[in-house]
């Protein structure tokens, strides 16, 4: 039996990731998945360790039931995605790549109104850091979560 292969190493997506992953349609249609009917809006800001907005990132979301979406952050570091309403799992998975990120970062957004008491991942996070993953719910029904790549309130990232 041949030796197992090693995973291909990662490299940063760089500042121009939009060309390949958010094409404008001139050469290639953007990848598209219909937003779930009766879905909810997720969004927030993405900030670096100094609190500066990260304006050149791509965020992908994976949710139970095969719901997937992606967005680029805007000039203010804001991101926005459409998800399905929370089901059995109290979270969605998020994956972030950008210039300066050498290997995609995996985090989660937990719904504040879902039951997290049986969640194994949450149980492994030091109590004082758990809140970095829990969104707030606005009066408009949208969920908001700021993601911080570093600094005093650094978001929890996972090794899955």
Partner 1 sequence: MTPRDRSRHPPALTPGYFSSVHRAPREALVPLDPEEADLSGPVFGTADIGSLDHDLIRNAARPGEMAIGPRILVHGRVLDEAGRGVPGALLEIWQANAGGRYRHARDGYLAPLDPNFAGCGRVLTDGEGAYRFDTVMPGAYPFPNGPNAWRPAHVHFSVFGWAFPQRLVTQMYFEGDPMIRHCPIVATLPDAGAVEALTARYDPANDRPMDARAWRFDIVLRGRRATPVEP
Q: By CB under 8 A, name the binding residues for partner 1.
A: 2, 4-21, 23, 26-29, 31, 33, 48-50, 52, 54, 56, 60, 62, 64, 66, 68, 89, 93, 95, 97-106, 120-121, 124-125, 129, 149-150, 154-160
49's CB contacts (< 8 A; 6+ apart) are 148, 149, 150, 151, 154
Strands 147-148 and 40-47: parallel
Cβ proximity to partner 1: between 17 and 142 the closer is 17
Q: How far is the CB of 43 from partner 1 (least distance, A)?
A: 20
Cβ proximity to partner 1: between 106 and 144 the closer is 106
Q: How far is the CB of 126 from partner 1 (least distance, A)?
A: 9
Using DSSP, state whether 106 is helix, strand or coil. strand
Q: How far is the CB of 55 from partner 1 (least distance, A)?
A: 9
Structure tokens at 82: 């459409």
Q: How far is the CB of 140 from partner 1 (least distance, A)?
A: 27
Cβ proximity to partner 1: between 20 and 138 the closer is 20
- CA proximity to 93, closest of 26, 156, 20, 27: 156
91, 83 contact by CB (below 8 A): no
């Amino acid at each position: 039996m041949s030796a197992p292969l090693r995973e291909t190493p990662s490299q940063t997506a760089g500042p121009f990731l939009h060309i390949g992953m958010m094409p404008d349609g001139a050469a290639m249609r953007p990848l598209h998945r219909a937003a779930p009917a009766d879905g909810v809006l997720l969004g927030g800001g993405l900030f670096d360790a100094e609190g500066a907005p990260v304006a050149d990132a791509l965020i992908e979301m994976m949710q139970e039931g095969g719901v997937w979406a992606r967005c680029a952050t805007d000039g203010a570091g804001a991101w926005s995605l459409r998800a399905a309403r929370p089901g059995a799992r109290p979270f969605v998975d998020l994956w972030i790549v950008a210039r300066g990120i050498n290997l995609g970062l995996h985090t989660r957004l937990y719904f504040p109104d879902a039951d997290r008491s049986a969640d194994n991942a949450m149980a492994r996070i030091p109590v004082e850091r758990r809140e970095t993953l829990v969104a707030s719910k606005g009066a408009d029904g949208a969920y908001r979560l700021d993601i911080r790549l570093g600094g005093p309130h650094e978001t929890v990232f996972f090794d899955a």
